[in-house]
Copies of this chain bind each other. A is one copy, B any other.
Amino acid sequence: MARARSEERRAEIVRAALEVIAERGYRGASLGAVAERVGLTQQGLLHYFPTKEALLVAVLEERDRWDTSGGRDRERWRLDLMESLVEYNAMRPGIVQTFSALLGESVTEDHPARAFFTERYTQVRENMAEVLRAEFGDELPGGLTPERVAPLLTAVMDGLQYQWLLDPDAVDMGASFRDFLALLREDSKRSA
């Protein structure tokens, strides 16, 4: 019982953090602001999440779970749904900013979010390869395999987020992502 309550409390804190991020962005999402929203002292919050980084990783894990809900149902992981996901991300700059800022920090020495991102990318590349194989078979344009295109697809999504966050008027994330898919579809168009 105590454990179930504790899990519920953690989930409540993560939802509150997501709200604070959406309203105030990455820097405004202090442990104090999140604690206040759930009616805890900052000391009380630290019992659930010892650092801001730990809380933000929990928020990103929750987002991943949510974005891929029904994720075990392979049908959900399709390229057209990824297109929608990129469009959806363009409407929630707070969480994209949090992801991008934490990813940046994570490549520094001994950062607490490093393990999360390293494991996440291993998984994401695998998922992307499956999506690509389901859509294009074993051979993509340029003679590439799904496994070789997977890191590129991932890189495009992440890289576009930085350009878009810095200059939303100059970069249309959704349109650019579709442009990348057009490069991948080149082959099928030609053989059609």
Contact = CB atoms under 8 A, between A and B. Distances in A.
Interface of A is mostly: helix
A26 B176 CA distance: 31
Nearest to A26: B108
A25 interface: yes
User: What is the interface residue range for chain A against chain B?
Assistant: 35 or more
A185 interface: yes
Q: How many copies does the complex hold?
A: 2
B160 A155 contact: yes
Interface stretch (A31-39, A48-56, A70-78, A139-147): A139-147
Contacts of A114: 166
Contacts of A11: none
A88 interface: no
Interface stretch (A2-10, A59-67, A98-106): A98-106
A100 B182 CA distance: 28
Contacts of A101: 104-105, 107-108
A154 to B, nearest CB: 6
A188 to B, nearest CB: 11
Interface stretch (A12-20, A117-125, A129-137): A117-125
A79 interface: no
Interface of A: 25-28, 97, 100-109, 114, 117-118, 121-122, 125, 140-144, 148-149, 151-152, 154-160, 162-163, 165-167, 170-171, 176, 179-180, 182-187, 190
24 contacts: A100-B107, A101-B107, A103-B104, A104-B107, A104-B162, A106-B166, A107-B162, A118-B166, A121-B163, A122-B167, A125-B163, A141-B182, A142-B182, A148-B179, A149-B183, A152-B156, A152-B180, A152-B183, A155-B156, A155-B158, A155-B176, A159-B159, A183-B184, A183-B186
